[in-house]
Structure 1
Amino acid sequence: MPDKAPRLTRPDGPAPKVGIVHLGPGAFFRAFNAVYTHEALAAQGGDWGILAVSLRSTAARDQLQPQGGAYTSVTLSPEGPETQVITAIRDVLVAPEDPEAVLTAMADPAVKIVSLTITEKGYCHEPATGQLRLDDPGIKADLANPAAPQTAPGFIVEALARRRAAGLPPFTVLSCDNLPSNGVLARGFVLEFACARDADLADWIAAKGRFPSTMVDRITPATTEADVAQLQATTGYYDPGAVMHEPFRQWVIEDDFVNGDRPAWETAGAQLVKSVEAHELMKLRCLNGTHSTLAYLGYLAGHETIAETIADAPFAALCQHLWRDEIQPTLIRPEGEDLPAYADALLARYRNPAIRHRTWQIAMDGSQKLPQRLLGTIADQLARGGRIDGLALAVAGWMRYVGGVDEAGNAIDVRDPLAERLRAASDSAKAPAVKVADLLSIEEVFPSALACNPRVSQAVTEAYQGLCQYGARAMVARLTTAERTDA
């Protein structure tokens, strides 16, 4: 910090009492949940201040406590950055330093919501089954010593047990992690942990508790020292807790809270709905599906970022084709959504040059992402007799990418749990059709019904051969040009 740079401090004025305890105060929470809550408080007030709790790191506490919990939210738009000082956070605790202080806060009757952005690992569950890993070291320790928990399940269940013993209602557990059916996952780990402690406690939570699912969406790049320095040059103050994010945001929340107690998040633009399932599928297929498509084909074409890729006209046309002709026909329109308008918003987001989303980063772990992002859409299109040529090209792009060599003959740093198997299946000595067949036979990625479908194998093989012969950009241009000619 430069010698004469004043640090950001909390603005003067009344502060709301704590009504939310949030576990996991990382950059996404500060760029998303806390911003919505700040704006809801400004619009309608209420005792919805946030006590942020880090389950491990001291970083958020060290950044925010000297600033009274305040920090700067920086919107990275094509026109330039826009800043807003966020004051929804009242304090920050580091759980390992004082677990009792955290439990006392969560058991306070003034707290109505415990929200989570703890990433998938924080759920201590087995992703394939969704079940709590009772053999997890942290879970075992929390079951043995519930008064000094280490994990999110341990803290939540111990706090709920204290509330039950005091004759208080439970708080709502609000998962805001980027996971499908996140409320169902949260309910599952809480009830399994509670059952391992006390079956009656588990029954009380199941009957009285609420675990609404949410869909969250906002790109939040990591804040760099250069970002902090630029913010200081712009504002005149030093703020190590600042967060950077894109202009777009979307928060869809199932409106199912204990006693209906929640902030007026809808005043800040949140969508309160009966179910988020259709919204999740829309995002998974429209956003994540085309993101992966652009990542593989864009990388092969030599593009470093999504913005650079989408600026290349054939790739923008490919996305528009996928949304209109192959993805949206498989969706049920979510409550309150306009699917064509949603696709237009995605295209604008992709074009934002201030967000440097690298194609290589998005391409990571494709063997885990493809089934949800692309293959489910292909299966639904097959069932309805729809087109799959764009989706097949995306899958072929992934196959070419995991072969580990780009179109210029340079090595690709393929990061994937199945990287060695994928490389072996893509061995350069094999003919293209054999490579495709071998990759389609990997059951961890491709369901047998899909892998054995002749339409799929033919479309992917033809696309893969075209990528080898003509290159990614040319194949994308061929598909989109042919579509315009047919029209």
Structure 2
Amino acid sequence: MQPIAIFSIVDASFRRSRGLVTIATNAAERLRPLGEADPGREVLPVRILQVGAGNFLRGFADWMVQRANDAGVLRHGIAVMKATPRPELVTGRLTEQAGMFHVVLDGVRDGRPFSETTLVTAVQSVVDAYREWDLCRDLMREETLSLVISNTTDAGIVYTPDDLSAAPPASFPAKMTALLHERWSHFAGDPRRGLSFLPCELIEDNGATLRSLVVRHAREAALAPQFVDWVTEHCRFYDTIVDRIVPGLPEPEAAELRASLGFDDRLIVRGEHYADWAIAGGPAIRDEFPLDRAGLPVRFMPDIRPYRERKVRILNGTHTAMAAVGPLLGCHTVRDAVQHPAVGAYLHHLLQDEVLPSLPSEDPEELRQYTTAILDRFRNPALHHLLADIRLNALAKWRTRNLPVVLDAWSQGRRADLGIFAFACLLTSYAGAFGEMPVRDDETLVAGLRSGFDATHPDRWIADFIASLDWPELSDTATAARLTAETGAHVRALLANEPAHALQTLLAGHEAKSP
């Protein structure tokens, strides 16, 4: 099969083994200082398979690998795999730019704003799982490969029945099962050829969950028990939590950056300088991937659960809520939402009245300081973080980031109407109640929301939709009934009045309770 996304900087042994074509010369000419004509660019062995090529992975994981390479701590090349069938421009542009792009990070140091730019050259190849599955399988035969880093969003590490013989299987866990089986077969079960997985998806126990799904797919496909043993004993799945705000870049700002850099870089990533990567692992993964030895903000620890819960509920949960509520009041960016009088007040009460009480802490003051720092990061004037981007797969995000806060509040005898209000805003906007908005979410769920929508009798619509959700958290009848009733009340308020009025009424109750 003729590859569309492998360029000449691919590791030489891999290129020779497949007779891969090189990238078109004119692509290098468009970025002449960055392309193949650059004699100083080092060809790196492919040690990392990266599943996903979005802003976050490029501005976080790729940036870290590049910095560690530059420091001489690593010598790691990255193969990027496009793992979804959705059309997108990033992987094609990565090929055109020979895998290179700039990461621009903005921060504050000693009270003064600063900007730092890094040219990422670690990406060695790009493959499309839906057009080049044979090349994805061939990557598994590379002796140098040792790590898999992924970000398939909160909806990526889930179980769905799949066919491992498909080219490719549909889900991310099934793809990994098939690819690992290819590696196991090729290396005859060599225990030294197991891979280490560092999933960046923001779900609880992301590494352990991915491992369990790989094993489940293997057993359902009746793969050899020896393969399952190899996966469980010689592949390592680490739980991780990641933190850096990496928004999209609006074109006028991108054009200015291209002009200042002097390169026609169509993949510039802009983000905040702050970053943190916590990995639940000890000396083995630290020796294999010693990013901290390059001075990077990576921590290896035995248990990341308390840190994960705090970060996901405060930062990511607030992102999800503002992306549900903010657009209904005219907000387009995170900064718009935080600075909007009503939406900003909503976020303040969401954090103070619902999120923080759900987090056990031996130091409440430290927790408040962490929350204040998060809000300051949201206000970063250099970042243009679109709420429309945060709404990607928002139903799954609300389930993993906001629903746990709701359930904890109920178990403690408290209400959680602010979190449920965000859910109601999400459902009504998805249904088109307030005009057309971009929706990028589970197509089946969205179709069900829209087909059953009835603005005059919303209670039945809400009840039917919540009953259709295959969420284990709602297996308890009383819990599902309460979520249905409280969501329905907010939906009725939203439909009976303008969203701004419904929000003001909700906030009035919380303002009255404030000291």
Using the size of structure 2 for normalisation, the TM-score is 0.72
1:49 touches 1:88 (CA, 8 Å); kept in 2?
no
Does residue 252 in structure 1 map to residue 252 in structure 2?
no
Any idea what the Cα deviations from partners look like across 1:244-288, whole Å, max 9, x if unmatched?
334443322221575753222233102322234444433443234
SS in 2 for 1:268: coil
Letter paired with 2:57 = F
Distance change (3 Å), C-alpha of 1:235 and 1:98: same
1:16 touches 1:47 (CA, 8 Å); kept in 2?
no
Distance change (3 Å), C-alpha of 1:338 and 1:48: farther
Any idea what the Cα deviations from partners look like across 1:95-153, whole Å, max 9, x if unmatched?
77987876676555544323334567877xxx3xx266136722579xxxxxxxx9443
SS in 2 for 1:427: coil
1:156 touches 1:190 (CA, 8 Å); kept in 2?
no
Q: How does 1:87-126 map onto structure 2 within 5 Å?
A: 87=120, 89=122, 91-94=124-127, 106-117=140-151
SS in 2 for 1:168: helix
Give the whole-Å Cα distance in 2 for the aligned partners of 1:41 and 1:468.
Answer: 58
Distance change (3 Å), C-alpha of 1:231 and 1:451: same
* More divergent stretch after superposition (347-356 vs 318-327): 347-356
Any idea what the Cα deviations from partners look like across 1:327-363, whole Å, max 9, x if unmatched?
122234599x953333223312332354444445545
Give the whole-Å Cα distance in 1 for the aligned partners of 2:425 and 2:480.
Answer: 16
Among 361, 377, 390, the residue aligned to 2:418: 390
Among 168, 177, 192, the residue aligned to 1:168: 192
Letter paired with 1:115 = I
> What's the CA shift for 1:311?
0.6
Distance change (3 Å), C-alpha of 1:40 and 1:329: farther
Letter paired with 1:281 = E
Residue 439 of structure 1: aligned partner? 462
Unaligned runs of 5+ in 1: 142-149
Amino-acid identity (%): 23
Distance change (3 Å), C-alpha of 1:6 and 1:480: farther
Among 328, 333, 336, the residue aligned to 1:305: 333
* More divergent stretch after superposition (63-72 vs 289-298): 63-72
> What's the CA shift for 1:234?
0.5
Q: How does 1:184-333 map onto structure 2 within 5 Å?
A: 184-192=208-216, 196-222=222-248, 226=252, 228-255=254-281, 261-266=287-292, 267-332=295-360
Among 154, 157, 162, the residue aligned to 2:181: 157
Does residue 450 in structure 1 map to residue 479 in structure 2?
yes
> What's the CA shift for 1:384?
0.9
Q: How does 1:25-36 map onto structure 2 within 5 Å?
A: 25-36=53-64
Give the whole-Å Cα distance in 2 for the aligned partners of 1:482 and 1:296.
Answer: 24
Letter paired with 1:319 = L
Residue 4 of structure 2: aligned partner? none
1:397 touches 1:467 (CA, 8 Å); kept in 2?
no
Give the whole-Å Cα distance in 2 for the aligned partners of 1:99 and 1:398.
Answer: 36
Distance change (3 Å), C-alpha of 1:354 and 1:158: same
Any idea what the Cα deviations from partners look like across 1:387-437, whole Å, max 9, x if unmatched?
42433443444465456333xxx566777644565457763334xxxx357
> What's the CA shift for 1:29?
2.3
> What's the CA shift for 1:188?
3.3
Distance change (3 Å), C-alpha of 1:77 and 1:464: farther
* More divergent stretch after superposition (49-58 vs 9-18): 9-18
Distance change (3 Å), C-alpha of 1:37 and 1:131: same
Distance change (3 Å), C-alpha of 1:314 and 1:186: same
Give the whole-Å Cα distance in 2 for the aligned partners of 1:175 and 1:359.
Answer: 24
Distance change (3 Å), C-alpha of 1:357 and 1:241: closer
2:176 touches 2:214 (CA, 8 Å); kept in 1?
no
2:282 touches 2:300 (CA, 8 Å); kept in 1?
no
> What's the CA shift for 1:204?
2.3
Among 96, 102, 109, the residue aligned to 1:72: 102
Does residue 86 in structure 1 map to residue 119 in structure 2?
yes
Residue 50 of structure 1: aligned partner? 77
1:153 touches 1:193 (CA, 8 Å); kept in 2?
yes
Residue 508 of structure 2: aligned partner? 478
Residue 428 of structure 1: aligned partner? 455
Give the whole-Å Cα distance in 2 for the aligned partners of 1:66 and 1:369.
Answer: 33
SS in 2 for 1:482: helix
The number of equivalent residue pairs is 462
Distance change (3 Å), C-alpha of 1:373 and 1:61: closer
Residue 144 of structure 1: aligned partner? none
SS in 2 for 1:452: helix
Distance change (3 Å), C-alpha of 1:369 and 1:62: closer
> What's the CA shift for 1:444?
3.2
> What's the CA shift for 1:213?
2.0
Using the size of structure 1 for normalisation, the TM-score is 0.76
Any idea what the Cα deviations from partners look like across 1:426-480, whole Å, max 9, x if unmatched?
63334xxxx35752563235933234349x8469737954884571452355245
* More divergent stretch after superposition (306-315 vs 249-258): 249-258
1:23 touches 1:152 (CA, 8 Å); kept in 2?
no
Letter paired with 1:303 = C
SS in 1 for 2:236: coil
* More divergent stretch after superposition (14-23 vs 370-379): 14-23
> What's the CA shift for 1:21?
3.8
